[in-house]
């Protein structure tokens, strides 16, 4: 109401002023440097009013825009400071300076609180400091915003993994996968969780989604689908063999070089009497990666075959990868089963200088089964303890006794490879494992002694021997094959004042070549009789018997329990 009255008053004043100016007579003359302008008073008043209005409008406009301009400049300065803090904070996080990162995060939170990068800097600086609660709070704030929702879910997923909370982690990954089906980390996480749970149908659905989203190409899709189908077939092998057979046959079409699929498919084809097809499946996988499971499946592809028939078949398979360690091990295993020990030694000979554990164990088995030589078998077993490791199923540094579809460390599909674990690799590939003295002694080549030649001196006649009243010395035993053991000296006659020397100890292991060639010729003809500890014996004087064990003077003259106890205690 007051505004209307004021407006009307101003209009009335303006009209009165205009009427007064119009009633004035005369002209207004302006002269400047010879220039003369004549104007009426009404025209001058009108021009002056217009200029005043324009000047007033300009002043009012400048004054009206001045606060906004001040605020805009202030926001620009704050944004510049925030951007500077974010940049240097991220650089500090990159080189691990937690103190500088925390200080820059505080400045960024003050000057650019709603910047997504400021939230990320705050979360990462909290992670660098070990502040899990602060990191989760920052990631939750990011997850509530539309522009940073996926980044916040990923951060919360990582924190759930660090806190060993798999349920929260899989829920966050599934939510992220719904928001962004092409999210690589969410797809891999959900796929790994479903494989760990044994949900093969859900894992196959995720794999189809990855193909549709363009995350994997066709070749990778075929391989990974074959891996998942093989895992399902192995799980159903003892539950539903028909479904297991269907899964593994589809898997072998998608991934023909996958070792577990080829071994299981060969087994099923062998049971169905499809021998040629089973052999082709195993041979194709063997050419890509020789493996003991493939060799075993190939050896038993025909049920009921003899060990020699299996050996011939395994030699055919090994010829497809000549010189490979697995080929030699497969042939040696089949040769041992067929009692072809010479063939087993022949194929293992190139690998015995620097043997792996399986090579050493097979050599021990050969020594034990062929000759019954427990000493050499024990030496090879001892060598196996310190031998090089054989290839095993490994993934991300994790060693497994069996193949698995997913790495338990990273959740990566088709991560297990048949290779030597990193922890078992020597620093110097040319370094050889030194053998101990026991191994060198036991594994030394067997020495073959020449046959015993009879003496050219004729034996004395029986009559002369009967006339000799002196006691006959005990016959000296034939020395063993080992050069380290000296033959025991013969016992002197009873009339000699010199005491008899104690007999040399018998060797720990007797050379098998002596017994094999000369038979009983190397066995001493007289075996000393050792009295049992419960034999009372004769306490007064030793018995002069050629069949008795020589008595050392240091043992005293006591026999029986008293002699035994005195010798044991002394």
Instruction: Say if residue 378's pLDDT is above 80.
Output: yes
462 pLDDT exceeds 80?
no
Q: Which of 379, 408, 437 is the last residue of a domain?
A: 379
**What is the signed CA dihedral for 67, 73, 79, 81, rounded to 10 degrees?**
-120
Mean pLDDT of 144-172: 88
pLDDT recorded at residue 450: 54
Q: Tokens at residue 282, please? A: 């195993």
Residue 311 lies in a domain: yes
In a domain, 23, yes or no: no
Strands 417-419 vs 398-400: parallel, antiparallel or unpaired: unpaired
Would 178 be classed as within a structural domain? no
The total of other beta-carbon atoms located within 10 Å of residue 102's CB is 19
Instruction: Quote the pLDDT of residue 338.
Output: 94
The answer to whether position 329 is within a domain reads yes
Kindly tell me if the per-residue pLDDT of 126 is higher than 70: yes
Q: Which tokens hold the place of 98?
A: 């937690």
Res 529 pLDDT > 50: no
Residue 356 lies in a domain: yes
pLDDT, averaged across the chain = 77
Q: Which of 219, 177, 180, 222 is nearest to 202 (CA)?
A: 177
pLDDT value for 237: 92
Strands 35-39 and 392-395: unpaired
Between 140-144, 207-211, 392-396, 446-450, the lowest mean confidence (pLDDT) is in 446-450
Q: Which of 360, 379, 398 is the last residue of a domain?
A: 379
Distance, in Å, from the CA atom of 332 to the CA atom of 323, rounded to the nearest integer, reads 13
Question: Per residue in 312-363, pLDDT tens?
Answer: 999 999 999 999 999 999 999 999 999 999 999 999 999 998 899 999 999 9
Angle between helices 341-348 and 325-337 (to 10 degrees): 170
Position 355 in a domain: yes
Residue 399 is inside which H or E element, if any?
strand 398-400
pLDDT of 213 higher than 60: yes
Closest by CA to 420, choosing from 383, 389, 386, is 389
Residue 347 lies in a domain: yes
Of 197-201, 226-230, 271-275, 446-450, the one with minimum mean pLDDT is 446-450
Q: How many domains does the chain have?
A: 2
**Is 469 contained in some domain?**
no
- Residue where a domain terminates, one of 379, 403, 434: 379
Tokens found for residue 222: 């075929």
pLDDT of 260: 95
Structural domain boundaries, residue 568: 534-540+551-570
């Amino acid at each position: 109401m007051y505004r209307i009255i004021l407006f009307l008053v101003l209009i009335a004043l303006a009209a009165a002023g205009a009427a007064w100016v119009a009633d004035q007579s005369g002209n207004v003359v302006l002269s400047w440097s010879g220039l003369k302008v004549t104007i009426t008073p009404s025209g001058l008043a009108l021009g002056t009013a217009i200029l005043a209005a324009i000047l007033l409008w300009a002043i009012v406009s400048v004054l009206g825009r001045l606060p906004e301009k001040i605020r805009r400049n202030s926001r620009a300065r704050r944004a510049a400071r925030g951007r500077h803090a974010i940049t240097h904070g991220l650089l500090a996080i990159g080189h691990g300076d937690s103190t500088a990162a925390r200080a820059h995060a505080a400045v960024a939170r003050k000057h650019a609180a709603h910047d997504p990068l400021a939230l990320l800097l705050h979360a990462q600086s909290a992670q660098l400091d070990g502040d899990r609660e602060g990191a989760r709070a920052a990631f939750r704030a990011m997850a509530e915003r539309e522009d940073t929702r996926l980044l916040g879910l990923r951060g919360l997923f990582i924190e759930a993994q660090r806190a060993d909370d798999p349920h929260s982690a899989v829920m966050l990954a599934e939510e992220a996968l719904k928001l962004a089906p092409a999210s690589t980390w969410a797809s891999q996480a959900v796929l790994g969780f479903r494989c760990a749970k044994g949900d093969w149908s859900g894992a196959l659905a995720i794999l189809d989604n990855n193909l549709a989203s363009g995350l994997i190409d066709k070749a990778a899709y075929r391989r990974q689908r074959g891996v998942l189908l093989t895992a399902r077939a192995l799980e159903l092998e003892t539950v539903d063999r028909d479904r297991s057979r269907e899964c593994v046959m589809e898997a072998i079409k998608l991934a023909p070089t996958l070792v577990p699929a080829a071994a299981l498919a060969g087994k099923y084809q062998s049971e169905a009497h499809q021998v040629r097809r089973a052999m082709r499946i195993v041979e194709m996988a063997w050419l890509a990666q020789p493996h003991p499971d493939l060799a075993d499946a190939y050896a038993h592809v025909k049920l009921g075959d003899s060990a020699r028939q299996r050996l011939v078949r395994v030699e055919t398979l090994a010829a497809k990868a000549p010189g490979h360690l697995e080929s030699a091990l497969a042939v040696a295993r089949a040769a041992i089963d067929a009692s072809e020990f010479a063939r087993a030694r022949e194929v293992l000979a190139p690998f015995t200088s620097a043997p792996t554990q399986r090579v050493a164990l097979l050599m021990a088995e050969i020594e034990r089964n062929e000759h019954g030589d427990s000493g050499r078998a024990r030496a090879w077993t001892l060598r196996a303890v310190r031998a090089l490791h054989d290839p095993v199923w490994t993934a991300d540094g994790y060693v497994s006794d069996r193949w698995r579809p997913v790495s338990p460390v990273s959740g990566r599909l088709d991560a297990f490879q048949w290779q030597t674990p990193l922890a078992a690799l020597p620093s110097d590939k040319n370094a050889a494992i030194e053998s101990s003295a026991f191994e060198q002694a036991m594994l030394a080549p067997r020495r073959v002694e020449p046959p015993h030649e009879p003496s050219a001196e004729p034996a004395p006649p029986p009559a002369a021997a009967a006339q000799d009243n002196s006691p006959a010395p005990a016959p000296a035993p034939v020395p063993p094959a080992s050069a380290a053991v000296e033959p025991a000296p013969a016992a002197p006659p009873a009339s000699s004042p010199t005491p008899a020397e104690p007999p040399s100890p018998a060797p720990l292991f007797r050379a098998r070549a002596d017994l094999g060639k000369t038979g009983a010729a190397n066995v001493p003809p007289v075996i000393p009789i050792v009295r049992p500890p419960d034999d009372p014996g004769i306490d007064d004087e030793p018995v002069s018997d050629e069949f008795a064990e020589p008595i050392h003077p240091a043992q005293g003259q006591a026999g029986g329990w008293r002699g035994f106890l005195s010798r044991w205690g002394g």
